[in-house]
């Protein structure tokens, strides 16, 4: 009987060694790691395919819309009394000859190599114009997004922690005002207050980054604040709603039962799980700030991409409008792609859904 017990104990111990120890346990761990890598690779492949298809469709639509604008850019540039031979020569110089398919392929192939064409109006490569204007629009968008995030996340967390109280109602009222008032009104108010009444900042213009980092950021401060205030109001409301919804989850109740305060539960547990809708809004806001700041750039006389598109439309410089629009669409799609990757980093369950 004792031998039988020892034999059973040996079998039990040996089985435990096989379970804990080695070849089988390591094989299972490797299989699990391989499955995670395969899920991530599939997720990335699907997102890259979506990115490529979106860019292809956007390029076709933009080209068709721009090329469908009535009128001849060459004839517009030379005037109504221009000789036909002169118009034909200018069309050849501007690359307007040939069929639509031929011009589309040439345009897409040029953009793939960094050649966006020659501006009809400025007679310089569009890539040079974009590089100059992007040096203003990109820092402005990043500056405004940084300000809006710095204002909105603490405000949303504070409103969620004090929901139903005077602080919450005050933040809700402020965000409602921020959403209702257009950013160009904020821009004009900021100019009146901080450029005329208290001349701390200039009313407009951009000295260039060669004047120094401080001078450049000072010139972009009022436009960035005007862009950031409405976006911060939207982001704060989204943050508040996402946190309040997360605070009703069971794991938050468990954390409170263990003695965590409301603020600590938000910081340690609820914040990460409320980030997915916040990341969505952040991605949309950066795209808007980069592509949709045309009014603010005109209010402050900033040489950005939005103002370049406006000038291209008024001068019928179609190659500028076409190329810059495609570049901005690419930026929007790329930001959406990066937000998708951020989703997967915040919530690994999304990788399995594809």
Band the pLDDT of 143: cuts 50, 70, 90.
very high
Structure tokens at 297: 């750039």
State the residue for tokens 């890598």: 37
What is the average pLDDT across 269-273? 71
What's the pLDDT at 9?
A: 45
Band the pLDDT of 268: cuts 50, 70, 90.
low
Structure tokens at 27: 């094989």
Q: Among 137-141, 188-192, 221-225, 287-291, which is the least confidently predicted range?
A: 287-291
% of the chain surpassing 90 pLDDT: 14
10: left (phi over 0), alpha (psi -120 to 50) or beta: alpha
The answer on pLDDT for 323 being more than 80 is yes
- Show Cβ contacts of residue 328 under 8 Å, excluding neighbours closer than 6 positions: 290, 291, 305
Strand partners, 125: 118
State pLDDT tens for residues 154-212.
898 888 888 888 988 999 999 999 888 888 888 889 999 998 888 888 888 888 888 88
% of the chain surpassing 70 pLDDT: 78
> Residues, the chain, total?
354
What is the average pLDDT across 122-145? 89
Residue burial 126-135, b: 16+ Cβ < 10 Å; e: rest? bbebbeebbb
- Show Cβ contacts of residue 73 under 8 Å, excluding neighbours closer than 6 positions: 94, 96, 120, 316, 317, 318
Distance CA 153, CA 228 (A): 13
What is the average pLDDT across 138-164? 89
Helix (H) or strand (E) holding 188: helix 183-191
Q: What single string gives the DSSP state of each residue in 23-79?
A: HHHHHHHHHHHHHHHHHHHHHHHHHHHHHHHHHHHHHHHHHHHHHTSSS-HHHHHH-
Strand partners, 263: none
Say if residues 324 and 308 touch (Cβ distance below 8 Å).
Answer: yes
State the residue for tokens 């370049």: 308
Say if residues 227 and 296 touch (Cβ distance below 8 Å).
Answer: yes
pTM for the complete prediction? 0.75
* DSSP SS3 for 222: helix
Long-range contact pairs involving 92-98 (C-beta distance under 8 Å, separation at least 24): 94/118, 94/120, 94/319, 95/319, 96/72
What's the pLDDT at 17?
A: 46
- Show Cβ contacts of residue 275 under 8 Å, excluding neighbours closer than 6 positions: 242, 346
* DSSP SS3 for 118: strand
Strand partners, 118: 125
Band the pLDDT of 253: cuts 50, 70, 90.
confident
The CATH homologous superfamily for domain 127-314 is MetI-like (1.10.3720.10)
Q: CA-based diameter of the chain, in Å?
A: 116
């Amino acid at each position: 009987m004792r031998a039988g017990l020892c034999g059973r104990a040996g079998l039990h111990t040996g089985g435990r060694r096989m379970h804990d120890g080695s070849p089988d346990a390591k094989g299972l761990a490797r299989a699990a790691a391989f499955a995670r890598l395969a899920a991530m690779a599939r997720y990335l492949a699907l997102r890259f395919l979506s990115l490529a298809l979106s860019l292809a469709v956007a390029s076709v639509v933009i080209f068709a819309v721009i090329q469908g604008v009535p009128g001849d850019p060459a004839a517009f540039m030379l005037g109504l009394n221009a000789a036909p031979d002169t118009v034909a020569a200018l069309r050849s110089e501007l690359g307007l000859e040939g069929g639509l398919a031929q011009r589309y392929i040439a345009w897409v192939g040029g953009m793939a190599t960094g050649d966006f064409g020659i501006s009809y109006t400025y007679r310089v490569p569009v890539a040079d114009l974009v590089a100059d204007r992007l040096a203003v629009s990109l820092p402005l968008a990043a500056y405004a997004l940084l300000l809006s995030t710095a204002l909105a996340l603490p405000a949303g967390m504070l409103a969620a922690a004090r929901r139903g109280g005077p602080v919450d109602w005050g933040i809700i009222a402020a965000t409602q005002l921020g959403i209702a008032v257009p950013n160009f009104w904020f821009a004009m108010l900021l100019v009146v207050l901080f450029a005329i009444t208290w001349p701390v900042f200039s009313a407009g213009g951009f000295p260039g980054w060669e004047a120094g980092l401080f001078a450049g950021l000072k010139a972009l401060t009022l436009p960035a604040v005007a862009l950031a205030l409405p976006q911060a109001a939207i982001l704060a409301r989204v943050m508040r709603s996402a946190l309040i919804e997360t605070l009703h989850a069971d794991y938050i109740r468990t954390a409170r039962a263990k003695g965590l305060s409301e603020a600590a539960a938000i910081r340690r547990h609820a914040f990460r799980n409320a980030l997915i809708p916040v990341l969505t809004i952040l991605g949309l806001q950066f795209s808007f700030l980069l592509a949709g700041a045309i009014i603010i750039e005109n209010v402050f006389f900033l040489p950005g991409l939005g103002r370049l598109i406006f000038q291209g439309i008024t001068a019928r410089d179609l190659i500028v409008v076409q190329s810059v629009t495609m570049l901005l669409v690419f930026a929007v799609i790329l930001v959406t792609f990066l937000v998708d990757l951020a989703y997967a980093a915040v919530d690994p369950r999304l990788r399995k859904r594809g």
